[in-house]
Each structure stands twice: as C-alpha cells, then as structure tokens.
C-alpha cells in the first residue's frame, strides 16, 4: 500500500494538475476539457483500464466499495506518517450521541433537498419513457437535451445536500464567497440553468409536452434556484478551480487549494 500511496502522492504533485477541480465540476468527464489536469479522472481511468468500467448496478456498487476502501487506506497511511493511529479511531466507530444535530442524515429532511429529490423522482420516468422515442427520431440535439436533463436531475440533490450540510455544520464562513458550501451551491445552480435550457429544447420540438410535465419541471427548477439564491447569496461569486480561471484554463499552472481566496474573473 505504501508504494501505491507514494505513487498517488507523486501524481498529485504534478504541477499540470488543478487541485480540487473535481469537487466543483458537473461530472460529465467525456465533455470536459480538463480531463488531463484532473487527478480524479486520471485515477478512475487507470482503475477502469485495470478492472474494466462498471457496466451495471452491481458493478457500480463494487466499484464504489473499492473506492471507499482505497480512500480509507490512503487516510490510514497519511495518518500513520503524521504519527496518528487512525485504525484505532476507525475501529472504535462513531461516538453515540443523543444530539440529533450530529446525524448527517438530518439534512435530507431540509425542504430544499426534498424539493430537489422530488424533481429527480418526477424527471426519471419521463426521461426513461422519452429515450426510445428519441432513438427512433435520431435527432442528436433532442437526445443531448434529454441526456442533459437526466444527468443533472441526479446531480442536483447531492450537490444541494452537500452545500446545506457544510453550511449547517459551521464548516465554512457564510461571508466567505470562496467556501465549499458556495461552490457546491454554484454547481447546483449551473446544473439548473443547463436543465432549464434542455427542457426548452424538448418543449420547442414538441417532444415533452404531455401532461404539462415540462412546465412543472421548469417551475420546480425555478423554485429550487430561488431558494438556493436566497440561502447561498454568494454562490455565483465562487471561483471554481480551472473552470472560472481563464489563465488556468488556457494552460497556466496553479497549486492553490480549491477554496483558497481567488480574484473574481474579469467581466466579459
């Protein structure tokens, strides 16, 4: 494990990589221009090459379990080198507490998360039903719009609950625009914007108007976006590593941590 740990540390030190860029992306790796500068993408590509990509739910679950175990092993090695016995802490497990505020799952009862999950639950069957119709039609633009809606419907709730949890657990400063909560909320708001546009494409083509679902979906997105804007007013000022840094996007190197203070990009 030590050699694997050292290999990862050496790769992470590559000056061409953008630290933490994968924390604030939309996860659509095939479309991303930063693949070769993203540690997460490079590691996952290597794992896929060794073990093959996950192709079904069982394989995805196994891949997730391997990823979690690998992360734990890396944490253990890091702690060991710092003189801290993480194995004992992990074996002890979480401390019992009567305080409900210690339960991370409580954030899933937040109405903002509930609304995002309701949007995903409504969208999924619609996109499943629409997919074969679009395949027969063979329209690339409509297919892309449907794939965009389906993709972001599953991304929205996790990003929102991360923003809520980080803010609620006082893990960041609400006045700091360059905080993880703001970064997660920004990704959610960008996902909403892309989803709105994609629904517009489908509605214009007359392929998603049954039962008023598109209008209801867009209204749900608008409501969620408004709540995010009110809850995280500085979110859109968060500067995402690489994505919102023109010089870095053009090839400049950076070693700034993802939530380190950054200048706002010049207005275009």
Structural domain of 208? 101-237
Domain count within the chain: 2
Among the listed ranges 102-116, 138-152, 213-227, which one has the minimum average pLDDT value? 102-116
State whether 85 and 163 are in the same domain. no
78/239: higher pLDDT: 239
pLDDT at 60: 46
* 260 within a domain of the structure (yes/no): no
* 242 within a domain of the structure (yes/no): no
Residue 72 has pLDDT above 70, yes or no: no
State whether 23 and 135 are in the same domain. no
| Cβ atoms of 243 and 249 closer than 8 Å | yes
- pLDDT tens, position by position, 226-255: 999 999 999 999 999 999 999 999 999 999
State whether 49 and 70 are in the same domain. yes
State whether 88 and 162 are in the same domain. no
- pLDDT tens, position by position, 1-50: 467 777 878 888 899 999 999 999 999 999 999 999 999 999 889 877 87
Give me the mean pLDDT over the 163-188 stretch.
90
* 46 within a domain of the structure (yes/no): yes
* 88 within a domain of the structure (yes/no): yes
pLDDT at 186: 98
State whether 114 and 212 are in the same domain. yes
d(CA 227, CA 156): 13
- Tell me the CATH number at 191: 1.20.1440
Among 53, 75, 92, the domain boundary falls at 92
Pair of tokens at residue 130? 């629409």
* 244 within a domain of the structure (yes/no): no
Among 64, 92, 120, the domain boundary falls at 92
Pair of tokens at residue 195? 């989803």
pLDDT at 99: 47
pLDDT at 266: 79
pLDDT at 134: 87
State whether 124 and 59 are in the same domain. no
């Amino acid at each position: 494990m030590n050699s694997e740990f050292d290999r990862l540390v050496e790769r992470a030190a590559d000056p061409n990589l953008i630290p933490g860029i994968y924390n604030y992306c939309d996860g659509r790796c095939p479309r991303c221009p930063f693949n070769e500068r993203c540690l997460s993408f490079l590691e996952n590509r290597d794992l896929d090459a060794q073990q093959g990509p996950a192709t079904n739910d069982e394989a995805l679950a196994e891949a997730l379990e391997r990823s979690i175990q690998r992360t734990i092993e890396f944490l253990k090695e890091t702690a060991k080198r710092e003189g801290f016995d993480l194995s004992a802490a992990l074996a002890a497990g979480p401390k019992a507490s009567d305080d409900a505020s210690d339960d991370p799952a409580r954030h899933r009862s937040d109405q903002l998360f509930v609304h995002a999950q309701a949007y995903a639950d409504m969208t999924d069957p619609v996109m499943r039903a629409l997919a074969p119709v679009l395949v027969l039609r063979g329209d690339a633009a409509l297919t892309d719009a449907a794939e965009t809606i389906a993709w972001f419907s599953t991304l929205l709730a996790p990003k929102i609950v991360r923003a809520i949890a980080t803010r609620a657990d006082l893990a960041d400063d609400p006045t700091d625009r360059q905080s993880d909560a703001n970064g997660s909320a920004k990704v959610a708001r960008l996902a909403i914007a892309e989803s709105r546009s994609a629904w517009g494409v489908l509605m214009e083509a007359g392929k998603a108007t049954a039962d008023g679902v598109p209008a209801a979906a867009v209204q749900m997105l608008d409501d969620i976006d408004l709540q995010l804007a009110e809850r995280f007013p500085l979110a859109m000022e968060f500067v995402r590593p690489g994505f919102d840094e023109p010089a870095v996007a053009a090839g400049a190197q950076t070693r700034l941590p993802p939530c380190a203070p950054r200048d706002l990009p010049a207005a275009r």
